[in-house]
Structure 1
Amino acid sequence: MNLRQKIAIGALTGSLGMTGALVTWFEGRSLVAYADPVGIPTICDGITLGVSLGNVATPAQCDKLLERELSIALAAVDRQVRVPLPETRRAALGSFVYNIGESQFARSTLLRKLNAGNALGACAELSRWIYAGGKRLAGLVKRRAAERELCEVGL
Protein backbone atom coordinates (compact mmCIF):
# COMPACT_ATOMS: atom_id res chain seq x y z
CA MET A 1 0.00 0.00 0.00
CA ASN A 2 1.37 3.43 -0.89
CA LEU A 3 1.01 6.67 1.07
CA ARG A 4 -1.85 8.00 -1.10
CA GLN A 5 -3.84 4.83 -0.49
CA LYS A 6 -3.11 4.98 3.22
CA ILE A 7 -4.28 8.61 3.40
CA ALA A 8 -7.42 7.79 1.38
CA ILE A 9 -8.29 5.04 3.85
CA GLY A 10 -7.49 7.40 6.73
CA ALA A 11 -9.86 9.98 5.21
CA LEU A 12 -12.74 7.71 6.17
CA THR A 13 -12.14 8.75 9.78
CA GLY A 14 -11.39 12.41 9.01
CA SER A 15 -8.30 14.37 9.89
CA LEU A 16 -7.32 12.00 12.72
CA GLY A 17 -7.09 9.09 10.27
CA MET A 18 -5.21 11.10 7.64
CA THR A 19 -2.82 12.48 10.27
CA GLY A 20 -2.20 8.96 11.55
CA ALA A 21 -1.50 7.75 8.02
CA LEU A 22 1.11 10.47 7.48
CA VAL A 23 2.75 10.02 10.86
CA THR A 24 3.00 6.25 10.74
CA TRP A 25 4.25 6.31 7.15
CA PHE A 26 7.12 8.67 7.92
CA GLU A 27 7.91 7.75 11.51
CA GLY A 28 7.82 3.98 11.18
CA ARG A 29 7.47 1.88 14.32
CA SER A 30 10.15 0.62 16.63
CA LEU A 31 9.30 -1.36 19.75
CA VAL A 32 12.76 -0.66 21.12
CA ALA A 33 13.91 2.90 21.86
CA TYR A 34 16.59 4.28 19.55
CA ALA A 35 18.37 7.60 19.03
CA ASP A 36 16.75 9.58 16.20
CA PRO A 37 18.95 11.38 13.63
CA VAL A 38 19.71 14.17 16.12
CA GLY A 39 20.19 11.87 19.11
CA ILE A 40 16.79 12.12 20.81
CA PRO A 41 15.61 8.83 22.38
CA THR A 42 12.53 7.73 20.41
CA ILE A 43 10.17 4.76 20.51
CA CYS A 44 7.08 3.45 18.71
CA ASP A 45 5.91 5.95 16.07
CA GLY A 46 8.23 8.85 16.85
CA ILE A 47 7.34 9.19 20.55
CA THR A 48 10.02 11.08 22.50
CA LEU A 49 8.34 12.26 25.72
CA GLY A 50 9.76 10.34 28.68
CA VAL A 51 11.69 7.91 26.48
CA SER A 52 15.11 6.54 27.41
CA LEU A 53 17.37 4.35 25.35
CA GLY A 54 16.70 0.74 26.24
CA ASN A 55 12.92 1.24 26.72
CA VAL A 56 10.76 -1.44 25.14
CA ALA A 57 7.07 -1.22 24.22
CA THR A 58 4.39 -3.60 23.00
CA PRO A 59 2.36 -2.92 19.85
CA ALA A 60 -0.66 -2.18 22.07
CA GLN A 61 1.34 0.36 24.09
CA CYS A 62 2.53 1.98 20.85
CA ASP A 63 -1.05 2.19 19.56
CA LYS A 64 -2.13 3.91 22.77
CA LEU A 65 0.80 6.35 22.70
CA LEU A 66 0.17 7.14 19.03
CA GLU A 67 -3.51 7.85 19.64
CA ARG A 68 -2.64 10.14 22.57
CA GLU A 69 0.03 12.05 20.67
CA LEU A 70 -2.13 12.45 17.54
CA SER A 71 -4.91 13.88 19.69
CA ILE A 72 -2.47 16.29 21.34
CA ALA A 73 -1.13 17.46 17.97
CA LEU A 74 -4.58 18.01 16.48
CA ALA A 75 -5.75 19.84 19.63
CA ALA A 76 -2.71 22.12 19.26
CA VAL A 77 -3.69 22.86 15.66
CA ASP A 78 -7.22 23.66 16.81
CA ARG A 79 -5.93 25.98 19.57
CA GLN A 80 -3.50 27.89 17.37
CA VAL A 81 -5.37 28.23 14.07
CA ARG A 82 -7.93 31.04 13.91
CA VAL A 83 -9.33 30.34 10.43
CA PRO A 84 -11.51 27.49 9.17
CA LEU A 85 -9.55 24.47 7.96
CA PRO A 86 -10.59 21.69 5.60
CA GLU A 87 -9.91 18.24 7.06
CA THR A 88 -6.98 17.69 4.68
CA ARG A 89 -5.19 20.87 5.81
CA ARG A 90 -5.91 20.08 9.46
CA ALA A 91 -4.42 16.60 8.94
CA ALA A 92 -1.28 17.96 7.26
CA LEU A 93 -0.79 20.44 10.10
CA GLY A 94 -1.46 17.73 12.67
CA SER A 95 1.38 15.66 11.22
CA PHE A 96 3.61 18.75 11.21
CA VAL A 97 2.85 19.59 14.85
CA TYR A 98 3.30 15.93 15.85
CA ASN A 99 6.81 16.24 14.47
CA ILE A 100 7.88 19.72 15.65
CA GLY A 101 5.68 20.39 18.69
CA GLU A 102 3.14 23.08 19.52
CA SER A 103 5.60 25.70 20.75
CA GLN A 104 7.52 25.72 17.45
CA PHE A 105 4.24 25.80 15.51
CA ALA A 106 2.93 28.69 17.63
CA ARG A 107 6.00 30.81 16.75
CA SER A 108 6.09 29.88 13.06
CA THR A 109 5.70 32.07 10.00
CA LEU A 110 3.51 29.26 8.69
CA LEU A 111 0.93 29.89 11.44
CA ARG A 112 1.11 33.67 11.01
CA LYS A 113 0.43 33.33 7.27
CA LEU A 114 -2.37 30.85 7.84
CA ASN A 115 -4.12 33.01 10.43
CA ALA A 116 -3.74 36.03 8.11
CA GLY A 117 -5.74 34.16 5.47
CA ASN A 118 -2.81 33.15 3.26
CA ALA A 119 -3.33 29.38 3.15
CA LEU A 120 -1.20 28.89 0.03
CA GLY A 121 1.71 30.79 1.58
CA ALA A 122 1.29 28.87 4.83
CA CYS A 123 1.37 25.50 3.07
CA ALA A 124 4.48 26.57 1.15
CA GLU A 125 6.23 27.22 4.50
CA LEU A 126 6.15 23.47 5.21
CA SER A 127 8.95 23.02 2.67
CA ARG A 128 11.28 25.11 4.85
CA TRP A 129 11.05 22.73 7.84
CA ILE A 130 13.49 20.11 6.55
CA TYR A 131 16.31 20.51 9.06
CA ALA A 132 16.95 18.82 12.38
CA GLY A 133 20.00 19.59 14.45
CA GLY A 134 21.14 21.92 11.67
CA LYS A 135 21.18 19.09 9.12
CA ARG A 136 18.94 18.75 6.06
CA LEU A 137 17.28 15.35 6.39
CA ALA A 138 16.00 13.49 3.34
CA GLY A 139 13.20 11.97 5.42
CA LEU A 140 11.97 15.43 6.40
CA VAL A 141 12.13 16.61 2.79
CA LYS A 142 9.82 13.74 1.79
CA ARG A 143 7.53 14.20 4.79
CA ARG A 144 7.14 17.94 4.23
CA ALA A 145 6.41 17.38 0.53
CA ALA A 146 3.59 14.98 1.46
CA GLU A 147 2.27 17.34 4.16
CA ARG A 148 2.39 20.24 1.72
CA GLU A 149 0.53 18.30 -0.95
CA LEU A 150 -2.22 17.45 1.54
CA CYS A 151 -2.23 21.02 2.89
CA GLU A 152 -2.76 22.43 -0.60
CA VAL A 153 -5.74 20.23 -1.51
CA GLY A 154 -8.46 22.53 -2.79
CA LEU A 155 -6.26 25.62 -3.19
Structure 2
Amino acid sequence: MPARSRKSLAGVVGLACALLLAPFVSGWESGGKPRLDAYQDIVGVWTICDGETEGVKPGMRETLAGCAARNEAALIRHAEPVLACTPTLRGHPHQLAAAVSLAYNIGTGAYCRSTVDRRFDAGRWRAACDAFLMWNRASGKVVNGLVRRRQAERDLCLKDLPR
Protein backbone atom coordinates (compact mmCIF):
# COMPACT_ATOMS: atom_id res chain seq x y z
CA MET A 1 0.00 0.00 0.00
CA PRO A 2 1.33 3.48 -0.82
CA ALA A 3 2.49 5.75 1.98
CA ARG A 4 -0.20 8.05 3.35
CA SER A 5 0.00 11.52 1.94
CA ARG A 6 -0.72 14.63 3.95
CA LYS A 7 -2.52 16.01 0.93
CA SER A 8 -6.21 15.47 0.42
CA LEU A 9 -8.01 15.28 -2.89
CA ALA A 10 -10.30 18.12 -1.81
CA GLY A 11 -7.24 20.20 -0.93
CA VAL A 12 -5.75 19.66 -4.38
CA VAL A 13 -8.82 20.04 -6.62
CA GLY A 14 -11.37 21.71 -4.36
CA LEU A 15 -14.28 20.14 -2.54
CA ALA A 16 -16.80 20.46 -5.39
CA CYS A 17 -14.48 18.69 -7.83
CA ALA A 18 -13.49 16.01 -5.30
CA LEU A 19 -17.16 15.22 -4.66
CA LEU A 20 -17.66 14.74 -8.41
CA LEU A 21 -14.38 13.05 -9.24
CA ALA A 22 -14.00 10.15 -6.80
CA PRO A 23 -17.36 8.46 -7.47
CA PHE A 24 -17.15 9.23 -11.20
CA VAL A 25 -13.80 7.45 -11.63
CA SER A 26 -14.80 4.62 -9.30
CA GLY A 27 -17.97 4.00 -11.31
CA TRP A 28 -15.99 3.60 -14.53
CA GLU A 29 -13.03 1.73 -13.17
CA SER A 30 -14.78 -0.80 -10.94
CA GLY A 31 -18.51 -0.30 -11.32
CA GLY A 32 -18.49 1.50 -7.95
CA LYS A 33 -17.31 -1.57 -6.01
CA PRO A 34 -13.52 -1.79 -5.59
CA ARG A 35 -11.91 -5.00 -6.83
CA LEU A 36 -9.87 -6.28 -3.90
CA ASP A 37 -7.88 -8.84 -5.88
CA ALA A 38 -5.36 -7.85 -8.55
CA TYR A 39 -6.53 -8.49 -12.11
CA GLN A 40 -5.36 -7.68 -15.62
CA ASP A 41 -7.24 -4.92 -17.43
CA ILE A 42 -8.25 -5.10 -21.11
CA VAL A 43 -4.69 -4.37 -22.27
CA GLY A 44 -3.04 -6.71 -19.74
CA VAL A 45 -1.94 -4.20 -17.07
CA TRP A 46 -2.15 -5.48 -13.48
CA THR A 47 -4.79 -3.44 -11.68
CA ILE A 48 -6.52 -3.35 -8.28
CA CYS A 49 -9.23 -1.41 -6.43
CA ASP A 50 -10.70 1.31 -8.67
CA GLY A 51 -8.22 1.05 -11.54
CA GLU A 52 -4.98 1.58 -9.61
CA THR A 53 -1.94 0.19 -11.44
CA GLU A 54 1.01 1.60 -9.50
CA GLY A 55 2.96 -1.19 -7.82
CA VAL A 56 0.30 -3.83 -8.53
CA LYS A 57 1.51 -7.41 -8.94
CA PRO A 58 -0.25 -10.71 -9.59
CA GLY A 59 -1.76 -12.21 -6.44
CA MET A 60 -2.07 -8.90 -4.57
CA ARG A 61 -5.08 -8.41 -2.33
CA GLU A 62 -6.26 -5.13 -0.79
CA THR A 63 -8.75 -4.12 1.90
CA LEU A 64 -11.54 -1.58 1.43
CA ALA A 65 -9.62 0.91 3.58
CA GLY A 66 -6.47 0.23 1.57
CA CYS A 67 -8.39 0.80 -1.66
CA ALA A 68 -9.75 4.11 -0.36
CA ALA A 69 -6.21 5.28 0.48
CA ARG A 70 -4.83 4.04 -2.86
CA ASN A 71 -7.62 5.72 -4.81
CA GLU A 72 -7.21 9.09 -3.08
CA ALA A 73 -3.44 8.98 -3.66
CA ALA A 74 -3.93 7.99 -7.32
CA LEU A 75 -6.43 10.78 -7.98
CA ILE A 76 -4.08 13.33 -6.39
CA ARG A 77 -1.19 11.90 -8.44
CA HIS A 78 -3.22 12.52 -11.61
CA ALA A 79 -4.85 15.82 -10.61
CA GLU A 80 -1.63 17.68 -9.86
CA PRO A 81 -0.11 17.27 -13.36
CA VAL A 82 -3.48 18.07 -14.98
CA LEU A 83 -3.61 21.32 -13.02
CA ALA A 84 0.04 22.02 -13.87
CA CYS A 85 -0.50 21.69 -17.63
CA THR A 86 -4.04 23.15 -17.65
CA PRO A 87 -4.13 25.71 -14.81
CA THR A 88 -7.26 27.35 -16.23
CA LEU A 89 -9.23 24.35 -14.95
CA ARG A 90 -8.80 25.49 -11.34
CA GLY A 91 -12.17 26.70 -10.07
CA HIS A 92 -14.08 24.79 -12.78
CA PRO A 93 -15.03 21.56 -10.96
CA HIS A 94 -16.92 19.81 -13.77
CA GLN A 95 -14.23 20.38 -16.39
CA LEU A 96 -11.44 19.54 -13.94
CA ALA A 97 -13.16 16.32 -12.82
CA ALA A 98 -13.60 15.26 -16.44
CA ALA A 99 -9.96 16.08 -17.26
CA VAL A 100 -8.60 14.18 -14.24
CA SER A 101 -10.81 11.20 -15.11
CA LEU A 102 -9.37 11.21 -18.63
CA ALA A 103 -5.80 11.52 -17.31
CA TYR A 104 -6.44 8.72 -14.81
CA ASN A 105 -7.38 6.48 -17.72
CA ILE A 106 -4.85 7.52 -20.39
CA GLY A 107 -1.98 8.82 -18.23
CA THR A 108 -0.98 12.36 -17.36
CA GLY A 109 1.66 12.60 -20.10
CA ALA A 110 -0.87 11.70 -22.78
CA TYR A 111 -3.37 14.13 -21.28
CA CYS A 112 -0.85 17.00 -21.21
CA ARG A 113 -0.01 16.38 -24.91
CA SER A 114 -3.67 16.00 -25.89
CA THR A 115 -6.00 18.06 -27.99
CA VAL A 116 -8.19 18.32 -24.87
CA ASP A 117 -5.41 20.18 -23.02
CA ARG A 118 -4.50 22.37 -26.01
CA ARG A 119 -8.12 23.42 -26.49
CA PHE A 120 -8.60 24.23 -22.80
CA ASP A 121 -5.37 26.25 -22.90
CA ALA A 122 -6.67 28.15 -25.94
CA GLY A 123 -9.92 28.99 -24.13
CA ARG A 124 -11.94 26.74 -26.45
CA TRP A 125 -13.84 25.05 -23.64
CA ARG A 126 -16.64 23.41 -25.65
CA ALA A 127 -14.16 22.15 -28.25
CA ALA A 128 -12.01 20.75 -25.42
CA CYS A 129 -15.00 18.85 -24.07
CA ASP A 130 -15.73 17.51 -27.55
CA ALA A 131 -12.13 16.29 -27.85
CA PHE A 132 -12.69 13.76 -25.05
CA LEU A 133 -14.47 11.64 -27.65
CA MET A 134 -11.17 11.09 -29.50
CA TRP A 135 -9.88 8.82 -26.71
CA ASN A 136 -11.99 5.74 -27.37
CA ARG A 137 -9.36 3.13 -28.32
CA ALA A 138 -7.26 0.52 -26.57
CA SER A 139 -4.59 -1.41 -28.46
CA GLY A 140 -5.71 0.43 -31.62
CA LYS A 141 -9.33 -0.76 -31.46
CA VAL A 142 -12.46 1.18 -30.56
CA VAL A 143 -13.75 -0.13 -27.22
CA ASN A 144 -17.44 0.31 -26.47
CA GLY A 145 -16.74 0.88 -22.77
CA LEU A 146 -14.35 3.71 -23.65
CA VAL A 147 -16.89 5.20 -26.05
CA ARG A 148 -19.40 5.31 -23.17
CA ARG A 149 -16.86 6.64 -20.68
CA ARG A 150 -15.70 9.41 -23.02
CA GLN A 151 -19.29 10.44 -23.67
CA ALA A 152 -19.90 10.61 -19.91
CA GLU A 153 -16.70 12.64 -19.42
CA ARG A 154 -17.77 14.98 -22.23
CA ASP A 155 -21.22 15.38 -20.67
CA LEU A 156 -19.62 16.17 -17.29
CA CYS A 157 -17.23 18.60 -18.98
CA LEU A 158 -20.08 20.49 -20.66
CA LYS A 159 -21.85 21.23 -17.35
CA ASP A 160 -21.62 24.83 -16.21
CA LEU A 161 -19.15 25.72 -18.96
CA PRO A 162 -17.36 29.02 -18.44
CA ARG A 163 -18.24 31.66 -20.99
Q: Normalization by structure 2: what TM-score?
A: 0.83
* 1:40 and 2:45 aligned: yes
- Name the aligned partner's letter for residue 105 of structure 1: Y
Alignment size in residue pairs: 144
RMSD of aligned Cα (Å): 1.5
Structure 1: distance between partners of 2:15 and 2:120: 24
Residue equivalent to 1:21: 23
Q: CA offsets per residue over residues 56-113 of structure 1, 9 Å max, x none?
A: 1111110000000111222122101142551111111111111111100111111111
Kindly state the Cα deviation for residue 53 of structure 1 after the two structures are TM-superposed. 1.6
Kindly state the Cα deviation for residue 143 of structure 1 after the two structures are TM-superposed. 1.0
- Name the aligned partner's letter for residue 64 of structure 1: A
Distance 1:54 1:75, change over 3 A: same
Structure 2 residue aligned with 1:112, among 111, 118, 134?
118
Q: 70-79 or 26-35, which moves further after superposition?
A: 70-79
Structure 2 residue aligned with 1:59, among 55, 59, 64?
64
Structure 1 residue aligned with 2:80, among 75, 82, 86?
75
Can you give the 5+ residue segments of structure 2 that lack an aligned partner in the other structure?
1-13
Q: Normalization by structure 1: what TM-score?
A: 0.87
Can you give the 5+ residue segments of structure 1 that lack an aligned partner in the other structure?
1-11
Structure 2: distance between partners of 1:18 and 1:104: 22
Percent identity at matched positions?
37
Structure 1: distance between partners of 2:19 and 2:40: 27
- Name the aligned partner's letter for residue 18 of structure 1: L
User: Tell me, what secondary structure is at the counterpart of 2:88?
Assistant: coil
